[in-house]
Structure formats: structure tokens, C-alpha cells
Structure 1
Amino acid sequence: MTNSVLPMTIGRGIRTAALRNPRKTAIYCDGERLRYCELKLRIEKVTAAAANSGFKPGSNVTLLAPNCLEYVEVVAGLGDAGVVVVTANSHTKAAELQALLIDSQSHAIFVHPTCEEIARAAGIISDDRVYVLGSSYDKWRDSAVCSVDIPAVSDGSSFAISYTSGTTGQPKGIMLSHRSRALSFLAAAAEYGCYGADDHSIAVAPLYHGGGFIFGVAPLFTGGCCTILSSFDPERLLHELETSNATNIFVVPTHVSALFALPSAKLNRRRFPALKTIISNAAPLPQPAKERMVTYFGEGVLYECYGSTEAGIVCNIRPADILRKPDSVGQPFPCTEIAILNEDGQQLSAGDKGYVYSRSPYLFNGYWNKPDETAQAWCNGWVTAGDLGWQDEDGFLYIDGRAKDMIITGGVNVYPKEVENALLAFGGVSEAAVVGIPDEHWGERVVAFLVSEHPELDLAALGAHCKALLSNFKIPKEYRIIKELPRNPTGKLLRRVLRDQL
């Protein structure tokens, strides 16, 4: 008897969803739409065109594009051909793209017209291997004759390489398997209850981002509908939520900040009758922002999940706990175990801080061409992205930042998140970030960068406030008021930029 188990690839999930309701709209994007039957055919044609163009299984190509109608078909179609797609940040510069193309050994690039100039300037890829989305790409795709038999691709093989943002150093290529993401889609459907055939998602986060891809493609994998926004505008987002009968949306904290920066007149009198799930990820959502979200959108809607590109979704805090457990990111995601380990790999007790590890079916395949870094991320089947945290007696996880961000002053560890939480509790401080800078006496001293709603923030009162909450060695020795904190496009804080300012 032969093994008849079919692989769980990204493309296969979408293609089988299309068989259930071929005429249903799968994607809306910038005034265009694709029905499932059209999306299925496009995916199959991309698979065939890749084979016709000599793309070999296991080879790498790069996709440089903002959110667009073609994004999903390119990734899914090439993935079904066994080709690995390097999902590049659409805001990348020519020098950064050149380094990525060299490191990933990409032999072709698919590029959105808005990114074509950057792709050409980066060089590396010959002109005949630059596929510009639009009429020339359409011709390449549609000239292919689909095969009845889709090539056999292992669902354990990589379908994508997502490069880290480089917030702590040189970006690394994170290899992601079909199976890890397909199971993430199904687990998200179970956990959030909003990824079924009757659901409508709004995808506003970049699809090149790990969370943006999971929550943007999950509705298509399960037969729902997704409106893909090519760019973020808070007013447009509210309009879409109000008029499209969207049931769910995935956001990052910068989206939330921009939303509530709108004038009250634009926020008032909004109604979201179908909305049942909002998921926040990519960076910690400050507790005051959670409270405001609950007040505005209602109870029972807001979730926050924590994870990494390496580990997928690790845990999730549900609406019933999001205000009851301040600053927690919740309990383990379905099929996931969490452990807090020390530097020797020993598991710590509740309340003790250490490295956050997880094991689940969603883990990455390793870092591209970096075996040493891959080995460092793994510990006896557990994976870490280098974050520090602890669990309470109920198993709820709290993140204290990255190990590389920890400040050591006078030989004592200072966790930036703890200091930042204290600063945010002071009236007038809307955002806060803490870094350590070299100090001849202490080794490092704590410096705080603040974004304030008030032009004349009372720093003396702020210092007294911190003294009441923090040990002396944790209190910032210096405060800097800035207009905004530097972040990458997915909302992650760029501490190295702050350090450079000092």
C-alpha cells in the first residue's frame, strides 16, 4: 500500500478551499477582486510558469512588493513548485536589497512597480529574471499551461525565507515550512473563532511580515474572504471595518496609536456590527492602549498574541484576561508548550525570569546558511528568539524584552520593559523606551527616551514617580524628550537608533 497522505502546502489549502465555493470572492484589493476559481487558476499557472522558466525546487527567488492582489498567488504558486520565496520588506533600500539577494542566493526577483527602481539599482539579478507585477508578469503567468498533476512538494520543506528586521544586528534569513504556517492557520481558526468560510478579514499589516502573512492568508486557507489594504490609513481602516462587514482584523501597535490620534469627530459615532475579533502582535501593546481599545470597540473583542518568526505564534491572551492580567501576553497557543530556561538550559519556576522557549508544530526550519546561529536558537527541541520573560502561577507569560536589550548597571540586571512600564504610568508620557549606554563607573547607565503629550513635561515629578516604583539602580539617569520613537515598518522599536543618538 502506497502512502496517500497529501502534503499540507499553502497552495493546496487555498486550492481545496476554492473547490468548496469557486464563485465566492476570495480577495478584494484596491477596487479589484479575485474569486476563488480565479485565484486557484492563478496559483496553478504560477506553478507551471515557474517550471517552464527553469526554476528548480529548493532554489530561492525574492518577492519585493507591498500588499497587492498578486502577493498571495506568487508565494503559493511558487511554493507549490518547490521554489522558496524570500519575502523582502517593501521599504528596503537598494544596498539592503543587494545584501539580501546575495545572502539568499536568489536567482530571480518578482517586484511591484513601486519597487522596480530599487530592484534595478540593487543589481545582482539579470534583467530577464526581473518580473515586474502587472502586464509583463501577467503575460509570464498566463502563458503557462497548467499541469493536471501538481509537483510533489514535502510540507516540511521551506516555502519562504523571512529576513529578521536587523534590530539587534545583521539580518538573518528565517526558513519557514509549509506545514508550520498551514497549521498556524488552522490553530488561529480554533483560537480566535474568526477564520471560517463565513468570515471576512481585513489585512492591513504587511504580508511580508510574519504575523501579517499568517493573519492575511489564514482566511483564504479556510475559505473565507480577505480585503487586502495596500497601505495603512486610519480613516480608511475605520471605513472598511464599518462598511465591509469585516469580522476580524490583525493590527500592530503603531496602527492602534495612529487610530486614536484621529480627531474625536472622526472616531465618534462609528459602528462595527460584524466585528468580533481584533488581534494585536509584532510589538507589546501598552496597557493604556488595551484599555482604550476595549472602551472603543467593546469587551470580548481584543486579543494580543506573542510570537516570533522563528517560533510562530507562541501564546495568546484572550479578551476575558486582557485587562485582568495587565502586561501579560497570555497562555500557550494551541499545540504549544512554553518553558522559561536559564543560560544552562534548566527550567525555572513561576515568577523567575529567564529565556522564553517554546516547542510546537509551528517552529522554523533554521536560519539560512547559518548553522551556528540555528544551533544557538535551539535547546533540546525548544526554540527561542532571545526574548526574556516569566510565567505566573496561572501559566500566563510576561515579556521583559530581548536578552540583548538588557542593561547591566553596577553588575545588576535592569529589564527595560519594567522601567518603561513605570514611565508609562506617569501622566503625560505616551511612549517610552529605555536603553543602556556605557558608563565608566557603573558599566552602563539607564537613559529614557520619552514621547509626551505635554510640551513641558515635569521631569522632577517624573523622577519622584519612578523613585516610588523602582529601585534606585533602575531609575533613568537621563531623560530625552523626542517627537516619536524610531520603529521599523512592523512597529518594532529600534533601540540601536536611540543608542546612536547618544
Structure 2
Amino acid sequence: MADISGLPGFYRIAQADPDRRAVIDTDGAVTTYGELLVRVNRISHGLRARGLGRGDAIAGVLPNGIDAVTMLMATGQIGLYYVPVNWHLTQSEIDYIVRDSDARLVVTPDSGGAAALAEGQPETEPADRTAGAVMWYTSGTTGFPKGVRRPLTGAEPEAAVPLYTWFLGEVCDLRPGDEVHLVTSPMYHSSPCAHTAFALHLGHTLVIAPRFEPAVILELVERYRVTNAMMVPTMFHRMLLMPPEVRARYDVSSLRQVVHTGAACPVAVKKGIMDWWGPVLYEYYGSTESAIAFAVKPHEWLERPGTVGRPVPTFEARILDENGAELPPGEPGMIYVKSGLGGFEYHKDPGKTAASMRGEWYAPGDIGFLDKEGYLFLCDRRTDLIVSGGVNIYPAEVEAALLEHPAVADVAVIGVPDAEWGHVVVALVQAVPGPRPPAEELLEHLGPRIARFKHPRVIEFREELPRTPTGKLSRSKVREQYLSGGVTES
């Protein structure tokens, strides 16, 4: 392969080294950088032929695969906003996002996908190229989801690549070269989508997993000698549930950077994976709105288990109380971050944009504290905090302790209204296959791990717990099902 280390991103890499592998799709089909660039250019021309111009939006309701990758890179060179839409949503939910985003075109598999746009279009690079942006829609845990929109720069797509390259090198030790990136999650979510684009700008090969199953992921790592990936903590937990003799069948020695984000990772789970894979877990914390705000490398984390890191370059952080006063190290409060790289707005909702800010500072909605060295430790989401008898209880802490029990496959901890205590702690447990442990055994397991006042008053079993496609626990759905008297299994 050619030396692409000095080339500014995907489009120039594809011109210089067209035979480099770009994408290995879910069915194993290989697309080279040169072939992908031809697709991208044709679709860029096709979008312009349909009257789309700089600043317009286009929605893609596309499963992971070559079409989703192509749309991302095509819109990225002609100044369009690309809106990836979760294909698991109902039609009415999809229609809402399409309307709200002002999308002038919707691309779906039923509409012919990206191929319909490319038909009859030239392979040449489009004129007047400018960088586009992705407008992701937040999950909408309260109210309707909103598009997170960043201003377009008006510069050519290559202009920002040196900044990407520097930033990813600083945060994740990712660099241009002959690396292989594994896509494990749906690309309609911000982190998997962003890492897909990052990988191509670094000249890496994308391997797209057909679905998340531990054995499938491990087999792909071994077969393609995957060097980096992005995952979420629930994936690690599911892998650790595999019997040791099954884990030992797979060669994962090629892995160098496995970036994880999306939810707090229990310390025992993260240690378990690094005992297995080595010190390869890179963690960052942020949000669709703030992007990557904190990060921690493997050896830093092993020295301070539980941290999500220090502010990344260009970011500042503060912990404030309810009155906006700054809190000292070790004192939990609302996390606020400020970026030197520019802000965002919620599309067509200036009120929500203003409500999420305190001056230049943005609140992701989480509670945490900084230690004396500036490392952030998360407590929980503000909306998930349980106040029982006037004492704060963080569900994530109780869940992490329960997940250390070998019979617990998954767990959700919620606060349930109580006339005496305000709220009481309830744990909904999904057990591994086999005999279920009695609730008393789980409570005994918690004894040396967390204070008694944090113990669940109620433990019930569930066949399955609701999660988003990227693996985040949906506590709002758990709470809604429980309070509505959903079927319980004791």
C-alpha cells in the first residue's frame, strides 16, 4: 500500500491509492477506496442534479452497509447536512424527523438507495466542493428528539482533516495508516457514524459487522486482524459471559485501540476485558451535542479505575451546584463543558438550545465529580438519580455491583415512588440461562460492595430489558413498564 500518512483525508487517499481496501460489507463484499470514491462522486452529482445545494438537508434511513457509508461521504463534500435516521423507528417517528430536519430528500432501500442517485452521473470530482456536516437527532428521552446542528465552515472537505488527525492521535492514539476499523453499532448514532468517517479519513479499512453477537465480533476481529473498534459497555459484559474455553478460541491479539463510550462502564467489566484483551480500552465521555469532552487512555485508567478521563484538548470543565456555584474536588454536581472548537444549536429550537447552556458552558445532563488532578468520575444521569429518605442513590453504582454476580446477565435499577421514603430502589434483573439465584443471594452479594441504604428494596426478574440499538439501557422504558404494572416474573 502507498504511504498515505501525509494525505488530507478520504478523497485524496482514494485518488492516490485507489486499490486500498475501504469497506468490507456485512456480506463480505470488498469495496476499494477508488471504487468508493467513484460511488461518492456519482451520488454527489446526483444530489446536485436534484436541486440540493449548500446548507440543504437529506435524510438516510439506511442499514449499516455500503450505501450508508457512501451517503455520509457524498454529502460531506458538497456542503449538505446528512440526517441518519434510526430504521427501527415507527413510520410516524421517521416522518417527524424528516419534517423537522427540513430534509429535501429521503434515501431508503425501498427507494433504490444510493444507487438510484448515482445512475447516469459522472465519476469526476464535483466542482465547488465544501465540507458538509451530519445532523444527528438526539434520542428524545424527554419530549420529541431534536437535531443537533453545527454551522458549516464553507471550507473544502480537506481543510479540517489535519485537526481530526491530530485530535484522534491525542485522544485515542489513532493515526493514518494500514489499520482496520470494526463497525459494531448502527451508524445512525453519532459515535459509530463519526468513527466511520474518521476511519476513512485516516486511510483505514472498515469492516462492518452484520449484527452484534459476541462470537460474530470476535470472529471478525480474528479473520480481518482488526486493529481498532468502537463499542459500548454492554457489549463487553456480554462477551465476558462467554465461557473461558469459548473465549480462548479467538485470536484478538491484533487489537490496539477499542474505544468505548455511550454509558458508564462498570469497573469490574472493564478490568475483565483488559485482563483478556490487554490494555487496549480507550474511553471517552461526551454527547451528541458536546462531542468528545473527556478521554482516558488504558494505563491512566488502570491507575484511576472508574474515571472517564480529563478534558480533551480545546475543552474545559466545571462541576456546579444547583445555584451555579463551582464545587471543590470530590464533590458531585452537574457537569458543564466548554469547547474552543465552536458550538451547536438544536435545529429550530432556540429555547432548548438556551436551556442547555449556562453562558458558554453546556450541561450534558450528568452528575459527576472531579478529583484533585482533574479526572472526571461519573455518578449518573440527573434524570435517573434516586433520592430515597433524602439521600442520593446512583442507579449505575448499584447496577455495576449486581453485574459482578455471575448469574446476572443484565440489570436495570430504578426509583419507584414511595409515600414514606420519597422513592425506593427497585432492581429488574435479567439472569443468565439456568437456575435463577434467589433475591437473598443477590442482596448478600451486594453486602461488601455497596452501602446497605443503596440496596434494592425489591428485586424482580425479567426475560429481557429494553436497550437502544447501541446498547444503552433505556431506564425510561424500564420505569414506564414497571409503573404501568407490566408483567413481572419473580
Question: How high is the TM-score relative to the length of structure 1?
Answer: 0.85
Q: Which residue of 2 aligns with 1:297?
A: 277
Q: Which residue of 1 aligns with 2:186?
A: 206
Q: How far 1:363 sits from its partner (Å)?
A: 5.9
Q: Which residue of 1 aligns with 2:112?
A: 132
2:373 is the alignment partner of 1:394? yes
Q: How far 1:52 sits from its partner (Å)?
A: 0.9
* Contact 2:44–2:126, Cα closer than 8 Å, also in 1: no
Equivalent position amino acid for 2:127 in 1: I
2:284 is the alignment partner of 1:287? no
Distance 1:235 1:410, change over 3 A: closer
Taking the aligned partners of 2:396 and 2:62, their CA distance within structure 1 comes to: 33
Q: Which residue of 1 aligns with 2:85?
A: 88
Q: Which residue of the other structure, out of 462, 465, 472, is the alignment partner of 1:492?
A: 472
| Cα shift readout 1:434-463 (whole Å, capped 9, x = no counterpart) | 211222223222222223347343433544
Q: Which residue of 2 aligns with 1:67?
A: 64
Question: How high is the TM-score relative to the length of structure 2?
Answer: 0.87
| Cα shift readout 1:274-298 (whole Å, capped 9, x = no counterpart) | 3211112212222222122112212
| Cα shift readout 1:33-90 (whole Å, capped 9, x = no counterpart) | 2222222232222222111111132222210111111222212212332221111112
Query: Does the residue aligned with 2:428 lie in a helix, a strand or coil?
Result: strand
Return 230-239 or 464-473, whichever deviates more: 464-473
Query: Does the residue aligned with 2:300 lie in a helix, a strand or coil?
Result: coil
2:51 is the alignment partner of 1:54? yes
* Contact 2:55–2:152, Cα closer than 8 Å, also in 1: no
Query: Does the residue aligned with 1:227 lie in a helix, a strand or coil?
Result: strand
* Contact 2:236–2:269, Cα closer than 8 Å, also in 1: yes
Q: Which residue of 2 aligns with 1:15?
A: 11
Query: Does the residue aligned with 2:76 lie in a helix, a strand or coil?
Result: helix
* Contact 1:401–1:417, Cα closer than 8 Å, also in 2: yes
Taking the aligned partners of 2:218 and 2:199, their CA distance within structure 1 comes to: 20
Q: Which residue of the other structure, out of 160, 168, 174, is the alignment partner of 1:188?
A: 168
Taking the aligned partners of 1:181 and 1:230, their CA distance within structure 2 comes to: 31
Equivalent position amino acid for 1:50 in 2: L
Query: Does the residue aligned with 1:295 lie in a helix, a strand or coil?
Result: helix
Q: Which residue of the other structure, out of 240, 243, 246, is the alignment partner of 1:260?
A: 240
Q: Which residue of 1 aligns with 2:218?
A: 238
2:194 is the alignment partner of 1:220? no
Taking the aligned partners of 1:456 and 1:242, their CA distance within structure 2 comes to: 34
Q: Which residue of 1 aligns with 2:286?
A: 307
Taking the aligned partners of 2:179 and 2:411, their CA distance within structure 1 comes to: 37
| Cα shift readout 1:201-234 (whole Å, capped 9, x = no counterpart) | 1112221111101222212112222222233333
Consecutive unaligned residues in structure 2, runs of 5 or more: 1-7, 154-158, 484-490
2:133 is the alignment partner of 1:159? yes
Q: Which residue of the other structure, out of 65, 76, 81, is the alignment partner of 1:79?
A: 76
Correspondence 1:106-185 to 2 at 5 A: 106-112=103-109, 116=110, 131-133=111-113, 137-145=114-122, 150-151=127-128, 153=130, 159-176=133-150, 183-184=163-164
* Contact 1:199–1:246, Cα closer than 8 Å, also in 2: yes
Distance 1:434 1:171, change over 3 A: same
Equivalent position amino acid for 2:46 in 1: A
Count matched residues. 467
Percent of counterpart pairs with the same letter?
30
Equivalent position amino acid for 1:434 in 2: V
Q: Which residue of 2 aligns with 1:406?
A: 385
Return 470-479 or 92-101, whichever deviates more: 470-479
Q: How far 1:264 sits from its partner (Å)?
A: 4.1
Q: Which residue of 1 aligns with 2:100?
A: 103
Q: How far 1:413 sits from its partner (Å)?
A: 2.9
Q: How far 1:302 sits from its partner (Å)?
A: 1.7
* Contact 2:333–2:369, Cα closer than 8 Å, also in 1: yes
Taking the aligned partners of 1:233 and 1:421, their CA distance within structure 2 comes to: 22
2:42 is the alignment partner of 1:42? no
Q: Which residue of 1 aligns with 2:156?
A: none
Q: How far 1:108 sits from its partner (Å)?
A: 1.5
Q: Which residue of the other structure, out of 328, 333, 339, is the alignment partner of 2:318?
A: 339
Query: Does the residue aligned with 1:98 lie in a helix, a strand or coil?
Result: helix
Distance 1:286 1:178, change over 3 A: farther
Equivalent position amino acid for 2:140 in 1: G
Query: Does the residue aligned with 2:305 lie in a helix, a strand or coil?
Result: coil
Correspondence 1:266-277 to 2 at 5 A: 266-277=246-257
Distance 1:279 1:445, change over 3 A: same
* Contact 1:181–1:214, Cα closer than 8 Å, also in 2: no
Equivalent position amino acid for 2:220 in 1: E
Distance 1:174 1:64, change over 3 A: same
Consecutive unaligned residues in structure 1, runs of 5 or more: 1-11, 117-130
* Contact 1:342–1:355, Cα closer than 8 Å, also in 2: yes
2:348 is the alignment partner of 1:352? no
Q: Which residue of the other structure, out of 477, 480, 491, is the alignment partner of 2:460?
A: 480
2:258 is the alignment partner of 1:278? yes
Q: Which residue of the other structure, out of 360, 370, 387, is the alignment partner of 2:349?
A: 370
